[in-house]
Amino acid sequence: MRTRQAIRPGPAHPLPCAALYCGAQASPEGKHPMQKLVALLTTALLGSAAAAPLSLTLSLTDGQTPFLLDTALKVAGQDLTVQEVKFYVSDVALVRADGTEVPVRGLSLAQLKKGATPQNIEIFKGEAPAGTYRGLRFNVGVPRALNHADATTAKAPLSLEQGMYWAWNSGYIFFTLLGESNGVKVANHVGGDSHRITVDLTDLQKPGTALRVAADGLTVPVSLDLQKLYAAGVGGAWDFSRAQYQQVHFGPVADQFYANVAGAFSRADGANANPVYRGAPAPAGAAAPTAPAMSMPMPAMPGQPQH
């Protein structure tokens, strides 16, 4: 008779659980030789990949200068008073030297509002296997399956109370910036499955970019350069006196803002000041108290590893 036994890595292992089907002829200890080998390998892997805390912090900048909310940002000679910046962080992954990814589960809403110092704000917290990596990637947006779930029953940070759901467009706003220019209200929104943005802060060819997740964890500082959000594009320079630049939700201006977002992020430690762009083309010219982000554990999508 054939026996079947499932060998499952523990919750800290970055690989999906798998079942092993073994034949008869077990060893005197009652284990098939292949079972013993898998058990030894599993133990070794678990010992070298213990889960450790991983967090991302965010600082707003105007070029190389730290930026404070409710102050003026110069955009094509105009003053834009930035009042609020909010965006979803999801699908965080550490990148190994060979380019493969180690997913870090979780979804959070980064919120930067007037009254909070927008420097070194924690925007994401999860767990990752200890080790050395060449960088990280994350998405600005909500995974497709959650983007089209019932928002009326969703819990924070996906609840309707967060003000990040488009009832008219059946989905979440992935990134929003609210402000005012010369008495005119300005709202820049990015949303929709085709406008989910991958921010890639990995350079496999550049030395000195390694991230080392120790047993006690790692915090990765990230900066968002607001000036790069308004890089000129298909319509030329931004002009907040014109309606098409004031309430931006879709169309060519929204597409340009979407393209600019990925290039506006960088590692604040200087290890990756010129990120690789994925999910959006590079924009033109691209080369303190803390407040935790609102977050939730994210269920694994089909085919996504469980930790």
Give me the pLDDT at residue 86, please: 96
Give me the pLDDT at residue 100, please: 94
Q: 113 - beta bridge partners?
A: 84
**Average pLDDT value over all residues in the chain:** 77
Cα torsion 243, 140, 285, 185 to 10°: value is: 20
**pLDDT bucket at 203, cuts 50 / 70 / 90:** confident
pLDDT at residue 94 greater than cutoff 50 = yes
pLDDT at residue 302 greater than cutoff 90 = no
pLDDT at residue 303 greater than cutoff 60 = no
Give me the pLDDT at residue 173, please: 94
Give me the pLDDT at residue 50, please: 81
Give me the pLDDT at residue 294, please: 66
pLDDT at residue 14 greater than cutoff 90 = no
How far apart CA 273 and CA 287 sit, in angstroms, is: 8
Token pair 């600019």 is at which residue?
A: 260
Task: Tell me which of 24-28, 86-90, 192-196, 275-279 is least confident.
Answer: 275-279
pLDDT at residue 2 greater than cutoff 50 = no
pLDDT at residue 85 greater than cutoff 90 = yes
**pLDDT bucket at 32, cuts 50 / 70 / 90:** low
Output the 3-class SS for 47-98: HHCCEEEEEEEEEEEECCEECCCCCEEEECCEEEEEEEEEEEEEEEEEECCC
The contacts of residue 251 (CB under 8 Å, 6+ apart) are: 244
Give me the pLDDT at residue 262, please: 87
pLDDT at residue 122 greater than cutoff 90 = yes
Across residues 201-221, what is the average pLDDT?
86
The contacts of residue 89 (CB under 8 Å, 6+ apart) are: 56, 107, 108, 109, 110, 123, 124, 138, 139, 140, 293
- Mind listing the pLDDT tens digit for each residue in 35-84? 544 444 433 444 446 899 999 999 999 999 999 888 899 999 999 999 99
Give me the pLDDT at residue 283, please: 37
**Comparing 253 with 277, which gets the higher pLDDT?**
253
Token output for 111: 């919120």
**Comparing 24 with 245, which gets the higher pLDDT?**
245
Across residues 149-167, what is the average pLDDT?
92
Contact yes or no for 182/75 (Cβ under 8 A): no
Give me the pLDDT at residue 34, please: 54
pTM: 0.74
Give me the pLDDT at residue 277, please: 29
Give me the pLDDT at residue 68, please: 86
The domains of the chain are located at 1-49, 54-296
How far apart CA 11 and CA 302 sit, in angstroms, is: 17
- Mind listing the pLDDT tens digit for each residue in 219-276? 999 999 999 999 887 667 889 998 888 888 878 888 889 999 989 999 987 654 433 3
How far apart CA 17 and CA 36 sit, in angstroms, is: 17
Give me the pLDDT at residue 270, please: 62
